[in-house]
Amino acid sequence: MHWIMNQKKTILLDVDYTLYPRGTGPFKEVSKRIEKYVVSMLSLGLEEARELRKSYISRYGSTLGGLMHDHGVRPHEFLRYVHDVPVESLIKPDEKLRSVLEIIPYDMVAFSNASRDYVDRVLKQLGVADLISGMFTIESMDFIPKPMKHAYRKVISTLDAKPGDLMVVDDMVENVLTALKMGMSGVLVGTSGKPRGALYINDIYDIPRVVT
């Protein structure tokens, strides 16, 4: 099964754990810094901070959303802190990824809950930044992340696109589910529990199979 596309369609690519394998790369360090931020700011133990993060992600889509709502955290300050990781030493250029994305004949846009600066650094370090025509990051979404519908509506509005002309490629089931509910196509990468109506690939290197 694959997606029938035309030249007007756009692929929305998640970044962390989609363009590189889960459990590797810079997002492991970002997650640790989020925990450290919550522990320090709210004077919590590590396990308490982790439970609070789960609650915030469930209610607001992200830790940042909960901190903004409950504690008035300034989003830019939070993003600078948690994304202050040495991307260049945590991930290597990926020639195989580049060769795969080069044969995709459609616009590809990064669609990530991370900050713009961080996403730009990751794409450059992977060696694929020049293949990506734009970025929708947490700033672009008014700090309301995937899987909240607001983030997807912002993409649709900004691109002046029809939902059916967009495909979300993501490692998170919830993010793909929202895409499907919004009338987009969805590809789940390397995660079990494929949502009904979604396409599935083991890893990003297999994406040509479903879009070409």
Q: Is the alpha carbon torsion for 58, 184, 112, 136 positive or negative?
A: negative
Q: What's the rounded Cα separation, in Å, for the pair 197 and 183?
A: 11
CATH number at residue 54: 1.10.150.450
pLDDT digits (tens, 9 = 90+) for 135-177: 999 999 999 999 999 999 999 999 999 999 999 999 999 999 9
Residue 14 lies in a domain: yes
User: Is a pLDDT exceeding 60 seen at residue 1?
Assistant: no
37 and 14 together in one domain: no
Q: What's the rounded Cα separation, in Å, for the pair 65 and 23?
A: 24
Strand order in the sheet with 185-189: 134-136, 107-111, 10-13, 166-170, 185-189, 199-201
Among 42, 59, 82, residue at a domain's last position: 82
pLDDT digits (tens, 9 = 90+) for 33-81: 999 999 999 999 999 999 999 999 989 989 999 999 999 999 999 999 9
Residue 145 lies in a domain: yes
CA separation, residue 98 to residues 102, 136, 159, 166, 167 (Å): 6, 20, 24, 21, 19
| pLDDT value of residue 3 | 45
Q: What's the rounded Cα separation, in Å, for the pair 46 and 40?
A: 10
Residue 88 lies in a domain: no
Residue 2 lies in a domain: no
74 and 169 together in one domain: no
187 and 103 together in one domain: yes
| pLDDT value of residue 177 | 95
| pLDDT value of residue 182 | 96
pLDDT digits (tens, 9 = 90+) for 12-37: 999 999 999 998 999 999 999 999 99
User: Is a pLDDT exceeding 50 seen at residue 92?
Assistant: yes
User: Is a pLDDT exceeding 50 seen at residue 90?
Assistant: yes
| pLDDT value of residue 7 | 55
69 and 142 together in one domain: no
| pLDDT value of residue 159 | 93
120 and 134 together in one domain: yes
14 and 36 together in one domain: no
| pLDDT value of residue 11 | 97
Q: What DSSP element (H or E) covers 150?
A: helix 149-159
99 and 167 together in one domain: yes
pLDDT digits (tens, 9 = 90+) for 98-133: 999 999 989 999 999 999 999 999 999 999 999 999
Q: What's the rounded Cα separation, in Å, for the pair 9 and 28?
A: 32
Helical packing angle, 63-71 and 75-82, nearest 10°? 140
Q: What is the mean pLDDT of residues 177-200?
A: 90
Residue 4 lies in a domain: no
Residue range of the domain that includes 124: 10-22+93-211
